[in-house]
Structure 1
Amino acid sequence: MRKLETYATSPWLIELHRQWLAARGKRLGGRARPFARDWNKLLEDADVRRGEDVATAEREAAALVKAGRLALKYYRSRFIERVIVPLNSEGWLRGLFSTASPGDLLANSLAHVARAAELDHPDRNAWAKWCASIAAAFTEGKSPRPFRWRSPESVEEILCLAHGLTSREWSAGTLIREASVAMGFDSKVIERRQHVAEAAVSSFFGQPMALTELGIIASENRVQLAGPLCLHFADGTSQPIDAIRGTYHLDEDLARAERITTPATRFLTVENSKTTLRRLAARNAEGGELMAACAFPTRGLRRVLELLPPELPLFHFGDTDPAGFHILAKLRSIAPREVTPWKMHRRLKAEPVPLTDYDRRLLPRLLEDPWLEDVRPVLREMLESGDKGDFEQETLDRAAAL
């Protein structure tokens, strides 16, 4: 009799294993019913179409039935209707194709989390607590974003990224490729995995967190602006831009420019670029405002501040949670002029909005920050009450936004 191991090369059995693995082979726990597939559809999916190949597949299936590995359901006593993988044969099917069991995948992922939990971290308790929460979710068969317990290699990689990004203070304006090298990776690793890295960092801090909020930026001189301005270059040429109602990016032109002129009467940086900046730009019909996105003061924004007339007043419109005031402090630390908060007064909701673990870790640092002396009463009230209030700038009344 043909050895059962040789059936691992049979196209129809390869396809049966693929469909079984996708449907239930990666799930924890037992099943009450055996796995079954329509025979003709299975052959079609496996591209088994020639009469000779179909006959071979039928002989192989019959042999596996005789060996007690599969079962077949017939119609009219001679035509195969369905092929069935009995519950007690699932282990054999998995072993035939060297597929790791869900239990093995889970154990490997939990081992990676356990090793990560032992790594040194400035906020040791928060790191251990986060790793414990991931392990608890895995044990319940859950996969908290961006982790998947069924992919141990991915779990290890993401934990490594999260640890490297959160275990050090990054200088404002650190380029993403510089950060990647500093963490011991290839220069493009974080760039390629930016969305995953940001999801992991957000999970650790318990709130949405972009790499820019850590001080890591993707481009040196790029900045998103709204309003009228003119770039002046060393060769005497200039480039006027007047997209008053829209937003635009400037990149290499900023590096070449010597100065910026603008008819605007003030410069306003805005934390939320996807909604608030666009809304304000649409209302800026007279061009009295020059605005820029500032989820973190990038090198591009610093370059704009260097080129603008020094007498142009600078205001910042941000969220009034700890992260929002953290951005204000960073902006003040790099701006060559005074930065005045705009509409960043504390607002409360009917129901308190609890501080996250990240907020509680950040607030004591903000209270000691010399750049936030004027807002310390707000920060202290937030810490003592445990309520960060109605902090998002998008919730301000639209009519009062300008």
Structure 2
Amino acid sequence: MQQQVYQHTLPNGLTILGEPMPWLESVAFTLMFPGGTAREPHDRIGLAGMTLEMTQRGSGRWSSREVVEELDFLGVDRSSSVSSFYTSISMSAMARVLDTTFEVAAAMVREPHFPEDELEEVRQSALLELSSIEDDPAQKCFVELKRSRFAEPFGRSSLGSVSGIEAVSHEDCVAFHHAHAKPQGAVLSIAGRFDWQDFLKLVDRYLGSWSGGPATHLGDVEPRVGSIHVPHDSQQTHIALAYDSVAYQHPEYYRGRGIVGILSDGMSSRLFTEVREKRGLVYAISASSHSLKNCGSVLCYAGTTSSRAQETLDVTMETIRSISQGIESGELSRLKSRTRTALVMEQESSASRSSQLAYDWITLGRTTTRQEVLSEIEQLTSENLIEHFKNHPPKRWTLVTIGPEPLEFQDEV
């Protein structure tokens, strides 16, 4: 089925994207604006997340409780998040309730109440969520990896810090929202069952008078190398590892992503087979592609016993480097089959597609189609993947370990 993606920019700078999926009964939209953790004051780490939560504590004609009741009554699935550079609000529902659902979301951006008497509840929730990572060493490992891999302000966690959260005031939340919730640099995407012209009228009604200038430029991201150990009295060791790869904007991104797929996608992947199945070194192992603006990395995780942690690290790095020695036809076939399946499944999810549209526009300045992605994947061969790996070898490694003892580690290609 031929994809059609609409695009329109309002006079205030807001970019609107739409992909009709008329075979669905649902509709989903995603709004992203430049209000991420990298824009927090250095002594208010956690402000972006707290501000986002406060915008959902009443807005427009709804009180804090009424927002929850209205969205539940409409049957809306919703999520919100803060990344390094953006704040996102996403909602999905039956197509027939789009108008009211969008009105609620727009009010969160344009007319948040910021009830001062709920700030302490928001603060305590943020502190509780931050403390919960102490019970999840794998998550903590990745929080520390991001902080170690990327220099300030790019390595901040959306969870914030204890001192930052405790310092946030009501005035801080209001000021942060007004400073960064602006239409210029923002994107609104919709996918599913909707009428494009009707949606444009809906957006103009609620966001047409939204105003604000462009976001300030934060500069490029540069990775940092080295290793950090976090002592933890346990029989387990958690290993988080990062190394250079190509970013999402790179013309050979799908080759880099294909290599990560061969390493980690599925239980027949190379890391799972070599590190877990053949040697029994880990109970969990994974790798994923990660792009932070211009900076591409591969992030890896392994959970193991402390007595076998050094061997796990060595074998993991050896397995990653083994890509240069060859890729079997079966590995490539499985990669392509998984990608085809994922693209088919995306056709059944308006939420997934709206999110991808927004991310593509923010990152690439354009949208990608399923056919484009499929074409890129079908062009992958063992030869061009190996060539890519040799041209962009793993280097500038960053290691974080949580466990009783640090591991021996050298940043070598």
TM-score with structure 2 length normalisation?
Answer: 0.24
Structure whose CA Rg is larger: 1
More strand by share: 2
Which protein, 1 or 2, shows the higher relative CO under an 8 Å CA cutoff with sep ≥ 6? 2
TM-score normalised according to structure 1 size: 0.24
